[in-house]
Structure 1
Amino acid sequence: MEYLATRGYRCVAPDLRGYGGTTAPPDVASYTAFHIVGDLVALLDTLELAKVFLVGHDWGAIIAWYMCLFRPERVTALVNTSVAFMRHIMIRTGPDFVNPIEYFKRAYGPNYYKCRFQEPGVAEKQFAPAHAKRLMRQLLCHCFSHGVFCDEEMDDNKFPTSPLPPWLTEADIDYFVTSFEKTGFTGAINYYRNFDKNCELAAPWADAKVQVPTKYIVGDDDITYNFEGIQEYIHAGGFKEDVPLLDEVVVIPGAGHFIQQKLFH
């Protein structure tokens, strides 16, 4: 943001609902893609910004894809990182459609983290605010590396708190910890609990294209770049068909999930 600001851009990085300084509604149903996109549109209206360049990562990327589908008139261009547009898990598309959570169960088993996150209260026992510092170190250092996410309990024996990578500082960890000690992890986990609902709500866009100029950037060690069939989709034409104004796909060798830290280190 500092780099862009010195070049004359106004940069806005909101805490989405459930994160940081923004409120965290207790109801799971308050975290659908429609709610989050609605928050962003309301923010743009409040700031009197008709259109913006949109940049997303991970869940931010998923929300950015939905925003470009629902409200493309508010987006000048998109740079999305980590998560490609995946119609088969974002939009209910027909009678043979499999809900995302069922898709993930079939592909990766019931212990896959997206599946384990579904039952309210279960994941919260693991992701307790009191464990925030250990959890953040393990998540950032281990769990999104080399195309995998740890599917079992993040205990210190299996995922020890090793030294931080060069792009991550103790001050960074402390900032994240302070935020999650305040809000807890439930708001963040509730995004995952709306995978199926998002697909249902987005069904009217089943045949829609992402009609926004787009650049996509991903690390070759990113968990999302190693989903079943995703590389063929990205590079064999399916991605370009769904995102006709896709300008470029950039794959960063040796980069994992947190690509923005890796690139700017």
Structure 2
Amino acid sequence: MEGIDHRMVSVNGITMHIAENGPKDGPLVLLLHGFPDFWYTWRHQISALSSLDYRTVAPDLRGYGDSDSPESFSEYTCLNVVGDLIALLDSVAGDQEKVFLVGHDWGAIIGWFLCLFRPEKIKGFVCLSVPYIPRNPSVKPVQWFRAVFGDDYYVCRFQEPGKIDGQFARADLRSLLRNIFTGRPLGPSILPKNNPFGENPNPTCENIEFPTWFSKKDLDFYASKFDKTRFTGGLNYYRAIDLSWELTAPWTGAKIQVPMKFMTGDFDMVYTTPGIKEYIHGGGFAAAVPNLQEIVVTEDAGHFVNQEKHQEVTAHINDFFTKLQNKNQSF
């Protein structure tokens, strides 16, 4: 995209690709993507926030896009990925002691860990889709997911290296990506073993009208990247969930103290998973995040709310960060 600069940065033993824009002395906003995605998910926010004099930096997290993809899933724990981001901030933040953070999906999860491990580096966090849920010391996450949602729950299906990767590889890539980004499945997400991505994926999906927010050009760009990288790098984040749980035992009971705003779509697969709405709105979320300032549920929006309702999301990001910079304003 025009106006967006791209470069490679050496961080934490890997080479990371970043997209950036905006004045070098502007407040830095770090934009973190989820699965299956890369920097391009923030294309609208990069341009819009930069026009408001923020400096925006959107990395391809390890395993995605043009960044390195370590082979072993053990190199995708929260400590590995947060280590990448701390090194990235040391490289790009300059004199800024604190930066703003925005995360979606796995980017939100990594954002939670960044706020937990290094809160002194974060001015404020806009979290999209995935709320912070404190570590349960009694049971490993995958075991809990399997007990509650069954063996075909997507997190459980992603665990065995190679198996689901092959099913992703055999699926029609363009149909799969289009269904992921423009579909609105309500949670929990179940992937049947024999037909995980639905019956007869339509290889002529380009003949179906695209939504206004996701064009054929967007699909072309996503397909060009995932045709090269495929999905194993992203799947490795799920395979490292239990290892991350083991490594974060010292943070059991810890709360997020960073000022935070939460946003989701009313058709988001996470938001519509049983128990999540009650947790978000019933006080559990606020208890775990004492500095939670606002919860925004965007109407008629799915999981990729940052793309689908990009103008609304950008306005909320700017409003929250502006108020944090002008502390005399109330939320």
Same fold, TM exceeding 0.5? yes
Match of 2:293 in 1: 247
CA contact (8 A) 2:175 2:201 kept: no
Would you say 1:151 and 2:196 are equivalent positions?
no
CA contact (8 A) 1:17 1:24 kept: yes
Q: 1:217 aligns with which of 243, 254, 263?
A: 263
**Structure (1/2) with the larger helix percentage:** 1
Distance 1:159 1:116, change over 3 A: farther
1:109-148 superposed matches below 5 A: 109-128=150-169, 131-142=172-183, 144-148=184-188
Cα offset for 1:138?
Answer: 1.9
Distance 1:14 1:158, change over 3 A: closer
Match of 1:185 in 2: 231
Q: Letter of the aligned partner of 2:142 in structure 1?
A: I
Would you say 1:229 and 2:229 are equivalent positions?
no
Match of 1:24 in 2: 69
CA contact (8 A) 2:188 2:273 kept: no
Q: CA RMSD in A?
A: 1.8
Cα offset for 1:82?
Answer: 0.4
Match of 2:58 in 1: 13
2: CA distance, partners of 1:237 / 1:159: 43
Cα offset for 1:250?
Answer: 0.5
Q: Letter of the aligned partner of 2:144 in structure 1?
A: Y
Q: 1:68 aligns with which of 115, 120, 131?
A: 115
Deviations along 1:65-102, one digit per CA (max 9) or x if unpaired, are: 01100111111100000000012xxx2x43xx221112
Distance 1:129 1:13, change over 3 A: farther
Q: Find the residue that maps to 1:43 and give its secondary structure.
A: helix
Q: Letter of the aligned partner of 1:26 in structure 2?
A: E
Identity %: 46
The TM-score normalised by the length of structure 1 is 0.91
Q: Letter of the aligned partner of 2:147 in structure 1?
A: R
CA contact (8 A) 1:124 1:185 kept: yes
Would you say 1:261 and 2:307 are equivalent positions?
yes
Cα offset for 1:129?
Answer: 7.9
2: CA distance, partners of 1:159 / 1:53: 40
Q: Find the residue that maps to 2:58 and give its secondary structure.
A: coil
The TM-score normalised by the length of structure 2 is 0.74
Deviations along 1:222-263, one digit per CA (max 9) or x if unpaired, are: 111122211111111111111000000001122110101121
Consecutive unaligned residues in structure 1, runs of 5 or more: none
Deviations along 1:91-134, one digit per CA (max 9) or x if unpaired, are: 2x43xx22111211122210111101100000111111884222
CA contact (8 A) 1:78 1:214 kept: yes
2: CA distance, partners of 1:149 / 1:158: 17
1: CA distance, partners of 2:170 / 2:98: 37
Q: How many pairs align?
A: 258
Q: Find the residue that maps to 2:55 and give its secondary structure.
A: coil
Distance 1:147 1:190, change over 3 A: same
Q: Letter of the aligned partner of 1:239 in structure 2?
A: F
Q: Letter of the aligned partner of 2:166 in structure 1?
A: K
1:37-116 superposed matches below 5 A: 37-47=82-92, 48=94, 49-87=96-134, 91=135, 93-94=136-137, 97-116=138-157
Q: Letter of the aligned partner of 2:215 in structure 1?
A: T
Higher relative contact order (CA 8 A, sep 6+): 1
CA contact (8 A) 1:113 1:149 kept: yes
Consecutive unaligned residues in structure 2, runs of 5 or more: 1-45, 312-331
Q: Letter of the aligned partner of 1:199 in structure 2?
A: W
Q: Letter of the aligned partner of 2:246 in structure 1?
A: E
2: CA distance, partners of 1:207 / 1:52: 25
Q: Find the residue that maps to 2:309 and give its secondary structure.
A: helix
Q: Which moved more, 1:100-109 or 1:4-13?
A: 100-109
Q: Letter of the aligned partner of 2:159 in structure 1?
A: Q
2: CA distance, partners of 1:79 / 1:16: 18
